[in-house]
Amino acid sequence: MKLASTRLIKISAGKYFLFIFVLLITSSPLSNSQNIEPRFEHLTVKDGLPENSAKAILQDYLGYMWFGTQAGLVKYDGYDMTIYNWSADIDSSLSSGSIMSIYEDRKKNLWIGTWASGLNRFNRTTETFKSFLHNPNDPSSLGSDIIYTSYEDKKGRLWIGTDEGLELLDIKSNKFKHFYFLDRSYSSELFDYILKNSKSNSKVESILKVGNNADITKTFIVKKKMPVLIVSIGEAGYDYGWLEDSKGNILFNYDYEKTQHAGGALNNRIQFALITLDEGTYKLHYTSNYFYSYEDQFVHAWSWDYKRRTGKPPDSPEFWGIQILDASADIKMLEGSLKNSTTIEVKSRVFAIIG
């Protein structure tokens, strides 16, 4: 299988046109027997595109092709291109030229999602746009101005995937209902306990304030049997720690099902474990990937791709890593605290909606 160019391509087939963003070419008995070779024509800025890439493509019920670029919305009839963009002088213009999604509902309305400038509904008759934007003073407004996707369900309801959650638009009132991810979080008292004891003699060993591309191991000795509290904070599946004994047996390891929200972005996870360590030698490990860590303060270059994949730091960023605390004096309290957690709503990106 070969992966073709990611440029916009037009395949001629009579008077119809098929547009693709990424083409997968595969071999099949049918294609081999017919031995049909498609002819490709590339659409570029020379043909009227405002730029040579598209983040969204749609063919509407009239047959027009719509391309969402970072320099405007494009309508193509097979011959000519019409470009819609933001204009400071026109209130009914597109709210932004940076297009993320295009969707056509059952009533043939086009919904245009933008990067950081909300949602737009296109009126085909007047060639104008109605914009829906986030208003911090209006709880019924759009929850986020970064729009990734739109979808109309079987009941005719319009769902919007944004940078901070799932939105449901009431078409009649133009009001939005917000849906967030339900997560679990430990009490603030437990975090206060960690803060206090991590600065005292209770700390057995730690690997904290971990940066990017880390692969850290620390060897330590326990001189007497003791109960310990293990605290590991990191980005789900990417930054995590584990503990092993001198024989290589894993005593503690990352398990997403045992994590809870650590504050900030949804992927900031914290995991606790109360275990007993016998006298002996142990190895504490922590690994991280190439971005989003204490080193870069959880924010990288402000490129579109990177900002889309990152979020807010945890409530206690200085604990990004793994640490072991002596729990001998507080075992009863810790056992109770670890059993108690509360349900919280966490803002999370919604990239796709499948009905």
List the domain boundaries for the chain. Answer: 2-181, 184-345
Entry pTM = 0.77
Residue type at position 122: F
| Residue ranges in the chain assigned as alpha helix (H) | 29-34, 188-198, 304-309, 331-339
Residue type, 240: Y
- 3-class DSSP string for 45-79: HHHCCCCCCCCEEEECCCCCEEEEECCEEEEECCC
pLDDT (tens place) for every residue of the chain, 355 residues total: 333 333 444 434 333 344 444 444 444 444 455 678 888 888 999 999 999 999 999 999 999 999 999 999 999 999 999 999 999 999 999 999 999 999 999 999 999 999 999 999 999 999 999 999 999 999 999 999 999 999 999 999 999 999 999 999 999 999 999 999 999 999 988 999 999 998 888 999 999 999 999 999 999 999 999 999 999 999 999 999 999 999 999 999 999 999 999 999 899 999 999 999 999 999 999 999 988 899 887 765 444 444 445 568 999 999 999 999 999 999 999 999 999 999 999 999 999 999 8
- Tell me if 241 sits within 8 A of 254, measured CB to CB: yes
Q: Say whether domain 2-181 belongs to CATH 2.60.40.10.
A: no
